[in-house]
Chains A and B, each alone.
Chain A
């Protein structure tokens, strides 16, 4: 079915999963305002929020099997959108499930926290659906504002307040860059619609227009902040450390994935025509990000900070896929997102499960000898660490994620050989800290007089086991997921428009 987006009903159908999510979130907001604050109310709202997210997930799955498409308009209806939506929704469901217990334990009784996760997810879905810079901006802001608040939702924690304030200020700053970039791109092309922009760049030969290039550069800076790419990553460690752990997981997985998905769409669908101009910038961004993230992560002794830096490193890896700019790399990118989401979510779920009130247990030393007291947890954590490292077999999907990105980089029409080499090198560096955690858990003795670890309840166990299981199973049989990501990307209308330009203009590197 092909939607005519100028008709309100078609527009509503095209946006039906997003609208459902938002309407559900607003209903829950009402409910959470009516009930009395407390552990029970918080849990009820949380469960309802999971239900809303799961229903949206089903809607997205249903939508993705219908083969919908759309005419010109400000939203895209394609497989890439549905695929990315699935990743966000799974991330949101896990994050809400994690915060059910975490919030009860830390006495965060604001039931709105769960709803804000839903609203942020809605923002992400709008981001990846948008085919217009204005719409994209609104999606980004909806997501960002919700996440700023979630970062500071624990009002008694000074670190959370610090993180929230830093995130908010730097986020607002990056928004300014972003808007300025949009304004300049509009000034140069007279359009905010991706398709019109890309057509005009080609038709009017705007490749060398300074206004367009400055606009693209500013847009890149804005995205760089959101993705935490290297020179713009300063906020990430403090924010990740200060935020409540489930929210950190949500930020590290879903928020970053959303920024990437939107980034990919803008860069390939709208700015494909100036590939030769932005390629160098992204090349350097990717290289610096890989180096900085992985090297700085080596010194971290706080697990949340370490994962924060490692996620900066992952940003660099994903940027390799963007820099190669082909359909194959878009598929690799989707696969990476799936693997990465489960690994990050799982790792943070372990951190949440092992903490207790007053003893968050976020330092790596707290994990010494975990194998001797909680073998299951230790194994799961090892799987997540190895997956992030990209270790074969035991790292499951993580290995294939890196493998596909490498493959995409090397098989692109302009092969990214140097980036691929750098990727392998920095991955080797990252082994230094990922394996250190594994080593600490399995080889170091449990320190004398360490506190008793709290019992883990069924929900946490399920989340951790499911994440680890998915990583391992699809690590052995990656084909279904790989096929799914490819079908996701095949439907993106960006490929036919953009690829001819690549062959023309991609000369360097």
Chain B
């Protein structure tokens, strides 16, 4: 019996086939509204989470006045920001000054168009993708639009006509342009393994290897995450705002809701990057230890479960962003640049070559893309990671600061310092 005849007889739609126009249209509208709502709520509550987590890490209470345990704090903040006076510096470029906060925020939001947030749903009207726009070039779209966030910051810095703001804007454009490169480079191994640029395929590939990319491409995960911190201007790379030097940099001149929009943009960017890390390296919506979700479109409960999984992963990385912020000090500007260009970029390039070589060898050996394949990649990455951290560390992070001196030199320095202490003491006498 031909498929069309069976359709006509049974009056059912093939649930694996893409939905028709109208179901697709309605589904897209629903997805749009739902996603935007969830997105904004999460962003709002991330600001609260930031303060709560920092309080927890610093052993204090944090906001606890508005609502039970301070839960309505974001609402109060929003209200406050709307009520505040909007200031406009007299010599600012008015149009760009108004436009800049929006331009900082929009790219972060647009990226959600291509991030798959759940397994595709086998609805009664056909298969509905749980992603706003299943573009054939998903990952490239992400790279393209994440590189646009810099416009908002640069223009804010320039249009304010303020030296601190301009310095912040310049720093940020240099920083983001530099780290964009290592970010893009660190994604290439992911593409090599997936053999595809659509994010859904990347998720499926991780499921098919039974290993997430964080294991098979651990070094890539490290590079991407570091670059993501720089791209979102989060500590330890928050040089563009650097309160202590630049009086919050590019948004020095902003007040009220426009300032708040920059704030929102920062958290929106964090949220987007968290979702990206989750998708690219932690299996996205893939439900761990379960095969039922990787067989094309699935039933609605599974869709919800996969969404919950994705949400949990994203929230974890949001927490990770906050965790790092309250743990590490800020880099110096020259350190920031040399990490980007002299450390991350060369490592990323070498890593591409190594991964490509490994894949070539594995494919030439006729290995199927399954668990063994992933396990070999994992072994290669583990070795690389150990080598990389040994070279990078050189007694800076893990071992004490004097760890990179040779013992004789150390002994000499100690004797010198002892002699000096002796001298000062004797001079005091």
Direct contact between A and B in the complex (CB less than 8 angstroms)? Answer: no
Name B residues whose Cβ lies closer than 8 Å to a Cβ of A: none
* A residues whose Cβ falls under 8 Å from a Cβ of B: none
